[in-house]
Chains A and B, each alone.
Chain A
Amino acid sequence: GEDVEQSLFLSVREGDSSVINCTYTDSSSTYLYWYKQEPGAGLQLLTYIFSNMDMKQDQRLTVLLNKKDKHLSLRIADTQTGDSAIYFCAERRDFGNEKLTFGTGTRLTIIP
């Protein structure tokens, strides 16, 4: 994941919005993803965005993509205790090749 960078930790009060950031380096990335991993579990696909889009909203989740700066963010509205997890961004570079390159993950902690 050396080409995809994320902050390691984020703490947010319950009910506030969480914003998790990610930067990537390959401008040829076609799709960008957000996955959630709870302790001892696999990865849950939260949402993804195609590289020709700027924004995607899905219920409490909003993804923003700035291709010029190669910056991706995930906003979680009204953060709940069940949102505590590690969040990974991932990029897919080659059309037809399913390899995903992951960041190191951001651990989101919810403060009651």
Chain B
Amino acid sequence: DAGVTQSPTHLIKTRGQHVTLRCSPISGHKSVSWYQQVLGQGPQFIFQYYEKEERGRGNFPDRFSARQFPNYSSELNVNALLLGDSALYLCASSDWALFYEQYFGPGTRLTVT
């Protein structure tokens, strides 16, 4: 079975630009969470979506937004990019019946110059 997939793998953007990151959960998983991992640190929770509804939000500015589609895939959008947004963005999916098991994708490496 395919795991969590994310696209693109790498991305380079300029300050002030906008970026959209995509995630496809494991087949059958209806919950998707997004995390930001800055180099040398542990991942920080950004959002969780379940059945297209936001179920959790971390301490991130309003420049960060997300949505989940009817097929349970998800997008993370970041507006007005700052240098500090450079990070590995990780997506995780889980089966609500087995919600204690979250599986992560390979991540999208975003570099803001």
Looking at the assembled complex, report how far the CB atom of B58 sits from the nearest CB atom of chain A, in whole angstroms: 7
- Closest chain B residue to A50, Cβ basis: B100
Other-chain contact of B48, A35, A44, A99 (Cβ < 8 Å): A99
Interface size of B in residues (CB-CB distance below 8 Å) = 27
Interface residues of B in 81-113 (CB under 8 A from A): 90, 92, 94, 99-107
Does B41 contact A43, Cβ atoms closer than 8 Å?
no
Does B106 contact A98, Cβ atoms closer than 8 Å?
no
Interface of A is mostly: strand
**B16 interfacial contact with A, CB 8 Å:** no
Residues in chain A near residue B58, CB distance under 8 A:
99
Looking at the assembled complex, report how far the CB atom of B9 sits from the nearest CB atom of chain A, in whole angstroms: 10
Residues of B within 8 A of A (CB): 4, 31, 33, 35, 40-45, 48, 50, 55-56, 58, 90, 92, 94, 99-107
Residues of A within 8 A of B (CB): 1, 4, 31, 33, 35, 41-45, 48, 50, 88, 90, 92, 96-105
